Structure formats: structure tokens, C-alpha cells
Structure 1
């Protein structure tokens, strides 16, 4: 182990923005439904870049780039990851349904399944919807969802930070779809 060394940034072999845009993406869209924290938005963009996510859709009060606070967490990922703003979450989800995406709400509901129990298939396209830090997913769009998933938690807290939860869920879908 004594020969192990940390790699410098230039040794990581990361692709540039142009190459990223031309690279085949994971068939996954992330929708942010009234996420209010710019840090959470930036962190979601950075994770979306890491896992070659197709697109991020920002809805409702979710802040949009460019903004210094988003950039601090995103570290430039708002330049590589495609994104759009759609004011109305219901319209955004209906458009995704028409494009044959399975709409997956990340929420604790009476019908939610544990993320580990959900069968992710490579012949499907998925849209993961993450909700507001306090109120969760918007009630008006509940009928649009094909499934609700939650990250199993065994401690004393009732929820995870939305960007942490998003990272866990994106990783689970990425590893099953790639």
C-alpha cells in the first residue's frame, strides 16, 4: 500500500464539456419539484454530470442557473448537463409521459417501495422527481406517477437531504441502466 498515491485532477482523465454533450446518456431525467435551496440544485447538477444524466428539469420555485450559489455546488455542471425550466410540474410530467418515461416520485407515501425493492429495467426510460425540502412532492401532480420510491433509513431521522437522496437514487438507477 505504500506506493498508493492520490491522483491529481489532470490524472483523472475526465472528458470536456463538448465530449460530455456528445456522449450517450443514461436514459434518466431528474425533475426538481419546488426545490428551494440553490446548494441542493447545484449538488443535483454535479451528480447528474457524474452519472451522465440526460437532463434536469427545474419546476416551480426551483432556482435556475446562472447563479453564484448554484455554481458553488455545481462546479460548472450547469454547463455540461442539459436543463430546462418548466413552471408547472403537472405539465412537465405529462410531457415526459408522452415521451415514454416512467415517472418515479421519490417520496414517502402509503404506496412507496424501498429503492432496493424496485426493479429497474434497461429497456425503460425513467424520470426521477425530487420534491421540496419541507413539503415533498407537489400534491397536484400525484396522479402522474407510475411509482413512488424511498431510500431505506434505519436511524432516528425521517428523511435525507434532497441532494443526498437524489445522489443515492441516481446512483442506483445509473448502475442498473449502464
Structure 2
């Protein structure tokens, strides 16, 4: 089955939401839930500049309460996996993913609450090698979804997109042609 859902918990930035929607669609995501939002996100120009209006190509559900989200996970057999920097979190490239994974990203400033993280099936961290304490949430989502899909590469085939892979490498470098 190997499906994934993207869960945005309390995100506020139109730039981040738009970028995540675009990556979610590009990586073949299923449902996209916005937890902590009582009414639909307003995809105005500020979000659409980054989503490229791809919010029309994915199922977006708005969930007000955490308990409702975890009920959704249980009903659909989704394994909620929090993406957080914390002790004991599995490293992104060593993670053993559930078949149906719900990738949860927290608010840009506050992240996810301890109670929420403890209710998740697993927590994954993205190793960082420089002096920066954290990554932008949209960048973290892109890295996590890419690694998730890369780790499942034996069962996935890329679809033909706008920029298909070249059939063969050029025989000469571009500057020698």
C-alpha cells in the first residue's frame, strides 16, 4: 500500500503551507490534514504563489482538535509519525516507516506538544551537521517526504512529469558541444 498523508499542526505561514502542499502533491501524497484549524485555510495569492494552485489536486481535511486527528488515524489505519528534534527520535535515513504513514509537522515556532508527540506511533528527526538548531518546516517536509519515497523506491515508479528524465547522458559536456 505504501501511502502517506501530510499533517500540518497549527501552521500559520502562507509561504510554508503553500510550499508543503506543492511538495505533498509532487511526492504523491494522499490526504493532507490541517489540525488546529476550525475553518478551511484561505488559499490566497500568498499561499498560491508557492502551492501553484495544487491545493485543488489533493484532499484537504480540516480538523479542530488533536483527539479528532488521532481518531482519524485509527479509523484509517494511519501511523502518525512526528517530525521533531528530540532525544530518542529515529534518524530520518534509518526510519522503518509504517505502510500508511501520517507525517506530522508542528507549528513554525512552537512545534508539537509533548502530549501530542507521545500519542504518535514514532518520532523521526532530520540529522543536521552544521550550527543551525532547526530547519524551516517546509524544507523539513520536503526532506522527509523525499526520504520516505526514496526508501520505498522498489515499489514506486515516477510518473512522467513536466521534466522527464533524459534517455541518455550527453556524450560531451555542454561547453564542448
Q: TM-score, normalised by structure 1?
A: 0.79
**Is 1:135 the equivalent of 2:110?**
yes
Aligned position for 1:107 = 84
**Partner SS state of residue 138, structure 2:** helix
* 1:126 aligned to which of 101, 114, 124: 101
**Partner SS state of residue 103, structure 1:** strand
**Partner SS state of residue 31, structure 2:** strand
* 1:141-152 correspondence runs (5 A): 141-152=116-127
**Are the structure 2 counterparts of residues 97 and 144 from structure 1 closer, same or farther at C-alpha, using a change threshold of 3 Å?**
farther
Alpha-carbon distance in 1 for matches of 2:111, 2:67: 15
* 1:15-26 correspondence runs (5 A): none
Unaligned runs of 5+ in 1: 1-24
Alpha-carbon distance in 2 for matches of 1:89, 1:36: 17
Unaligned runs of 5+ in 2: 157-177
Alpha-carbon distance in 1 for matches of 2:2, 2:18: 19
**Is 1:87 the equivalent of 2:64?**
yes
Q: TM-score, normalised by structure 2?
A: 0.79
Alpha-carbon distance in 2 for matches of 1:171, 1:87: 28
Give the superposed CA RMSD: 1.9
- Count of matched residue pairs: 152
Aligned position for 2:131 = 156
**Is 1:49 the equivalent of 2:61?**
no
